[in-house]
Amino acid sequence: MAKPIMAKATAVWLVDNTTLSFKQIADFVEMHELEVQGIADGDVAAGVKGFDPVTNNQLTQDEIDAAEKNPLHRLTLKFNAAAVGEEKRRGPRYTPLSKRQDRPAAIYWLVKFHPELTDGQISKLVGTTKPTIQSIRERTHWNISNIQPVDPVALGLTKQSELDAAVQKAAAKKAADAPVMTDDERRKLVSTEQSLGMESEPKIPTAIEGLETFSLSMDVDDDEEEESTLVDADSLFNLPKGGKDDEDEQP
């Protein structure tokens, strides 16, 4: 469905002059239902003058009456031949004079928290120029020391749905431009189940393999050396012939 011009001001008028539900108004002006409720509570669009959609040829009184009688009825924008093809206009969106001073803060927020967005995407979101975006990226803007990042959705410069769509598109392009993995790199990526089922790798480094057999041979040599050093106890008492006893037997 086409969006009415001056949507927020139209929502203000419908809240103040009709008994339509917040959902009906939100669907017509393409705003969130809670945002319309904020208009009714005075928390949103404070100071915005209502824009009469009937007088400005966007809505008929019969359409409003039908919607007030049936909460499920959706308001339909009145056909305006002069507006045909208007939604196809390209280039940066128009930003009201009252909000143009907020654009640097919105640009700074987008550059800081969504670096994947291109200058063209940021330009379309907040209605600015690429040189301005570049100066804020490079911190060469004349007022960069006083600029604080502020969400452009909170400033009313763009919609959350438009921001989400731009971020998703930029993320998809970044993923598509990522380098392709080689076959060896793919083989290294295994699932948790596969990694648990794999045999454990030997803990002994290959550089010192063979120490087990070397250690065993060393143990055998040590045993032989110990056996060779053992002395028979009986041999200590076998005195050679011609000892002291023989001397005593001599006359």
The per-residue pLDDT string of the chain (251 residues; one tens digit each, 9 = 90 and over) reads: 567 778 888 989 999 899 899 999 989 888 888 888 888 888 887 778 888 888 888 888 898 999 899 989 988 887 655 444 444 445 556 666 666 788 999 999 999 999 999 999 999 898 888 999 999 999 999 999 999 999 888 888 888 888 888 989 988 888 777 665 565 665 555 555 555 555 555 555 554 555 555 454 555 455 555 555 455 555 555 555 554 455 444 44
Last residue of a domain, one of 118, 141, 176: 176
pLDDT for res 122: 92
Any domain includes 117? yes
Any domain includes 114? yes
The answer on 161 and 135 residing in a single domain is yes
The answer on 101 and 79 residing in a single domain is no
Last residue of a domain, one of 87, 114, 133: 87
The answer on 105 and 165 residing in a single domain is yes
Tokens representing residue 140 in the block: 């060469």
Tokens representing residue 130 in the block: 């690429």
Report d(CA 108, CA 106) in Å as an integer.
Answer: 5
The answer on 66 and 11 residing in a single domain is yes
The answer on 149 and 110 residing in a single domain is yes
The answer on 102 and 71 residing in a single domain is no
Any domain includes 186? no
Q: Which domain holds residue 166?
A: 97-176
92: number of Cβ within 10 Å: 15
Last residue of a domain, one of 176, 194, 217: 176
Measured in whole angstroms, the distance separating CA 167 from the mean position of its chain's CA atoms is 10
The answer on 115 and 79 residing in a single domain is no
The answer on 78 and 51 residing in a single domain is yes
Measured in whole angstroms, the distance separating CA 101 from the mean position of its chain's CA atoms is 29
Q: Provide the whole-model pTM.
A: 0.39
Tokens representing residue 23 in the block: 């959902």
Any domain includes 62? yes
The answer on 103 and 172 residing in a single domain is yes
Provide the number of structural domains found in the chain: 2
DSSP reduced 3-state for 230: coil
Any domain includes 35? yes
pLDDT for res 108: 94
The answer on 124 and 151 residing in a single domain is yes
Measured in whole angstroms, the distance separating CA 181 from the mean position of its chain's CA atoms is 22
The answer on 82 and 27 residing in a single domain is yes
Any domain includes 225? no
Tokens representing residue 132 in the block: 């301005």
Any domain includes 188? no
Any domain includes 75? yes
User: How many Å is the maximal CA-CA distance in the chain?
Assistant: 162
pLDDT for res 159: 87
Overall size of the chain counted in residues: 251
DSSP reduced 3-state for 42: coil
The answer on 104 and 147 residing in a single domain is yes
